[in-house]
Amino acid sequence: MSSVLVIGEALVDVVHSSDGGVQEYPGGSPLNVAIGLSRLGRSTQLLAHLGDDARGEAVLAHLRASGVEVVEGTVRPGSTSTAQATLAADGSASYVFDLTWELPEGPALDAALPQDPAAVHTGSIGSWYEPGAGAVSRLLQRYRATATTSFDPNVRPSLMADPALVRERIDALVGHCDVVKLSDEDAEWLQPGGDHEALLASWLERGASLAVMTRGAQGLVAVARSGRAEVRAQRVQVADTVGAGDSVMAALIDGLAEHDLLGADRRDALRAISTDDVQTLLAHAARVGAITVSRPGADPPWRRELLGV
């Protein structure tokens, strides 16, 4: 069974619905990816930053319930970060953050980290928000020698004091990754008015083997060295879109594991992935994403739901 290490923020989404209701859910893009992977049957560890408060304990309980192992050093004194998510009538969400992001470093962390995960994923705020972003970059570079690396920038402009610096950091991380996933909104922020598929193709030139873009109801498009693939989104009644892209990311990593394409020793095979196999990956990701948007909050499916068990 392929193991995955996910590095990035874990927090609490305080969701304000269009009818005035307020609910709290464990969230954060990397946390959601870790939950999605574990529910799909992948052995998953999460390195994050949580406070030792009631919200932090709720997040830990959520992770344990889905089988995610938390790397020692994730829980630290202080408050757990929050994202105030306001839902529009169509289920889309906008966010305002109260965030602390830093990671422990040194011998204690080295001893706690897994030594040989097949894949390492990072993304979102944790990949470019200081003071933790530097540690994330160093860990990703360290693991690239042995693992497949993946990245989802999941841009949050409201947190960016210096957008130009964030763009530089995103570009640098792309250069260390085998798989990159972003949304069409991310692509527009990175390259306003540009050719978004050309942006994906440019990431292959930087060294990525697979670049995927989500486009909401229009589905997913991907480019690999073998060519382009596309799938339409499945038609479902949308509850909200919270965690949808994260579920897609988890499904992509899960699909690569199914195709025996995880691990640095499989990098050449991943570079040579066929368009048919990419199409299969996208179809799997679209199905997982459709289930997630059909229910409130970031609630990705379990493997048994996909199997109809």
Provide DSSP, 69-88. EEPTT-EESSPPPEEEEEE-
Of 209 and 307, the one with more pLDDT: 209
For position 251, which CATH number holds?
Answer: 3.40.1190.20
In a domain, 309, yes or no: no
pLDDT in tens, 103-123: 988 888 888 999 899 999 999
- Tell me what pLDDT residue 256 has: 98
Among 34-38, 68-72, 87-91, 94-98, the least confident range: 87-91
CA distances from 32 to 35, 121, 200 (A): 5, 12, 23
In a domain, 283, yes or no: yes
Above 80 in pLDDT, residue 92? no
Query: Is the per-residue pLDDT at 1 higher than 60?
Result: no
Q: How many CA atoms lie within 13 A of 88 on its CB side?
A: 6
Distance between CA atoms of 93 and 159, rounded to whole angstroms? 16
Could you give the C-alpha distances from 61 to 26, 64, 69, 70, 85, in angstroms and in order? Answer: 9, 5, 11, 11, 21
Q: CA–CA separation, 61 vs 143, rounded Å?
A: 28
The mean per-residue pLDDT over the stretch 85-95 comes to 73
| For residues 65-74, average pLDDT | 96
Query: What pLDDT is recorded for position 307?
Result: 85
Pick the most confident of 124-128, 230-234, 251-255.
Answer: 251-255
pLDDT band at 133; cut points 50, 70, 90? very high
Give domain status of residue 212, yes or no.
yes
pLDDT tier, 177 (very low <50, low <70, confident <90, very high otherwise): very high
pLDDT at 216 over 80: yes
Name the residue with higher pLDDT: 6 or 164.
6
Provide, rounded to the nearest whole percent, the portion of the chain with pLDDT above 90. 74
What is the number of structural domains in the chain? 1
Torsion sign (Cα): 116, 117, 118, 120? negative
Residue 257 has pLDDT above 60, yes or no: yes
pLDDT band at 267 (very low <50, low <70, confident <90, very high): very high
Which residues are CB-contacts of 172 (< 8 A; sequence separation ≥ 6)? 137
Expressed as residue numbers, the domain containing 133 is 3-303
Whether the pLDDT of residue 32 is over 70: the answer is yes
Does some domain include residue 234? yes
> Among candidates 4, 281, 301, which has minimal Cα distance to 147?
4
pLDDT score recorded for residue 91: 64
Average pLDDT along the chain: 92
31 SS3 class: helix
Considering the domain boundaries, does residue 143 fall inside one? yes
What is the pTM (predicted TM-score) of this model? 0.93
Mean pLDDT on 143-171: 91
Average pLDDT over residues 34-47: 98
Separation of alpha carbons 6 and 44, rounded Å? 7
pLDDT for 296: 83
Query: What confidence tier does 2 reach under pLDDT thresholds 50, 70, 90?
Result: confident
Average pLDDT on 250-256 reads: 98
pLDDT tens digits, 180-205: 999 999 999 999 999 999 999 999 99
The verdict on residue 19 lying in a domain is yes
